[in-house]
Chains A and B, each alone.
Chain A
């Protein structure tokens, strides 16, 4: 439809006739765009509306803010109900941060090698790393459950971080490799001609250049680790429980009654920082998500 804007220059004779299909096409685009917008945001909006709604009006179903109350947020952090959401947040933050840092520190070297160097079995190594990222988490949970039980690691932080690395590290290597392939490597050549070794060229020229790509990858890795549920639900305990697990098994004021509004409040707390992060770094995240797929 975009091309329609260019055509009137060629058909200068009858602008009125040319204008009609253009408007109709653009109109349809806006309708479609509105549908996408509503489909993507309405459930998210509904979560926030419910989070601020008094628990007595859980099923009020009015599509805008009414019976506004902050009680749900108090319930979320109410230790007397058995909720330790503050602790859960700290746990998630810690597990996701350590996973991200380990994956980045280790993965950046592998990505450099895969993007820049020629070596035997490169294809096989790339295939192994890609395969690892598609690996079903459930195939790890069983052996690790037994292993961690035997060595007394159940419910420790390392019991959550180690399996997380199994899917965050391949994701990191994969994304970074695609980013590195796109970088202006002529600068590395110039540095080497100026007398830098390959290692120096890497540290002094490439690493600063790679910082934005690394940062984007860090966001993707962090989101992946933060959103993890399966492993955390099996290998954590009360002290190390992460937010995703806590939200799934939330306790409300009344036993045997699903605390919908409080859960929506907890979901809002967990989601808002991610949404802000995603909106601020929108372009970079889209580039990172799609980096490997189209090349």
Chain B
């Protein structure tokens, strides 16, 4: 951006005829700006390298090492040393020392946890997108008390997830308000599907506001004239929604969904506090944490797998949906 601003300056300072020196000084400016930029960026990049890249590389190295300790399959003491890909096959093939992991051990839970993680991700993000869109459309309207609503949606967002978990744990207690209100007798956190839905509802409550605010920001970028013109042309409310609102809000929506998907894939706090991962509500993150105290290296393999899964999802998202979003943004601006 700033080079565009500087170009006229160099054009003014460089006398016409001496074109080479002018270009040279522009190049030099570019170089000094680049150097200045990296000087400013260095602390951040170094810090991130120390707190992220170093641990991740460390985890990858660890994941190819054996855990020392009693081998649960053979009963012999294992010394550690290189493990090859054993830690990975332990999880992915659910192999414990050459045989299938016995049910109940952490090794036997990998695919269940994977399925649970994706269940939570897909269901919560779908619900949050629909609800968030609805909230955003309401908040975009002009009415008395609009600022009250906009303030209110920030309340669930601001409450720490740990507190949210405990709050909904209380709401979903057997004698709690949820059962009272709906006149049901469900042991919400005591069996698989009620527990899963309790977690989903808590997550939707906590994070829909974030989604709604991102979508609202996208909605506010659409000029009113576009709607006016469509109305004059006789477009119905539904047509206006599908032909104008959806395509124009798509870039903001895609960013919001991407953020939420990646956040949901690493879900830990809610299930960890509400059910401790019991009744098949254990996510990949919970499984990693459970494994840490049974063996760092096996846990490191699982955390690496988790990281790769999240990375792949992000990559697919940006590659296929992101490209569309960028195109939509381009056409949106062109029109």
Binary CB contact string for chain B from 32 to 44 against chain A (1 if under 8 A, 0 otherwise): 0110111011011
Does B125 lie at the interface of the complex (its beta carbon under 8 Å from any beta carbon of A)? no
In this complex, what residue of A is CB-closest to B270? A229
Contact of B170 among A50, A131, A163 (CB under 8 A): A50
Contact B153 A107 (CB under 8 A): no
Binary CB contact string for chain A from 110 to 141 against chain B (1 if under 8 A, 0 otherwise): 10111011111010010011011011111111
Total residues of chain A contacting the partner, CB 8 A: 95
In this complex, what residue of B is CB-closest to A136? B266
Contact A47 B167 (CB under 8 A): yes
Q: How far is the CA of A275 from the CA of B141 in the complex (A)?
A: 24
Does A91 lie at the interface of the complex (its beta carbon under 8 Å from any beta carbon of B)? no
Contact B59 A142 (CB under 8 A): yes
B148-168, CB < 8 A from A: 148-163, 165-168
B171 to chain A, nearest CB (A): 6
Does A144 lie at the interface of the complex (its beta carbon under 8 Å from any beta carbon of B)? yes
B181 to chain A, nearest CB (A): 8
Contact B138 A290 (CB under 8 A): no
Does B28 lie at the interface of the complex (its beta carbon under 8 Å from any beta carbon of A)? no
- Would you list the 6 A-B pairs with minimal beta carbon distance, nearest first? A290-B217, A110-B44, A244-B162, A136-B266, A2-B142, A119-B37
Contact B162 A248 (CB under 8 A): yes
Does B23 lie at the interface of the complex (its beta carbon under 8 Å from any beta carbon of A)? no
Does A294 lie at the interface of the complex (its beta carbon under 8 Å from any beta carbon of B)? yes
Contact of B160 among A33, A40, A131, A271 (CB under 8 A): A271
Known: A129-B44, A143-B300, A275-B155. A267 touches B34 (CB 8 A): no
What are the residues of chain A within 8 A of B51 when measuring CB–CB? 140, 162-163, 165-166, 169
29 CB-based A-B contacts, threshold 8 Å: A1-B143, A33-B138, A40-B209, A43-B168, A43-B171, A46-B177, A47-B163, A113-B38, A113-B40, A117-B36, A118-B2, A134-B263, A136-B306, A136-B310, A137-B285, A138-B268, A139-B56, A139-B306, A143-B62, A143-B300, A227-B161, A229-B272, A244-B160, A248-B162, A258-B169, A263-B170, A264-B167, A293-B214, A294-B218
Does B303 lie at the interface of the complex (its beta carbon under 8 Å from any beta carbon of A)? yes
Q: How far is the CA of A270 from the CA of B165 in the complex (A)?
A: 14
B321 to chain A, nearest CB (A): 15
What are the residues of chain A within 8 A of B47 when measuring CB–CB? 102, 106, 165, 169
Contact of A41 among B30, B152, B217, B263 (CB under 8 A): B152
Does B281 lie at the interface of the complex (its beta carbon under 8 Å from any beta carbon of A)? no
Among the stretches B13-21, B76-84, B90-98, B288-296, the one at the interface with A is B288-296
Q: How far is the CA of A285 from the CA of B150 in the complex (A)?
A: 11
Known: A47-B170, A227-B160. 4 other contacts (CB 8 A): A5-B142, A46-B167, A138-B285, A275-B159
What are the residues of chain A within 8 A of B209 when measuring CB–CB? 40
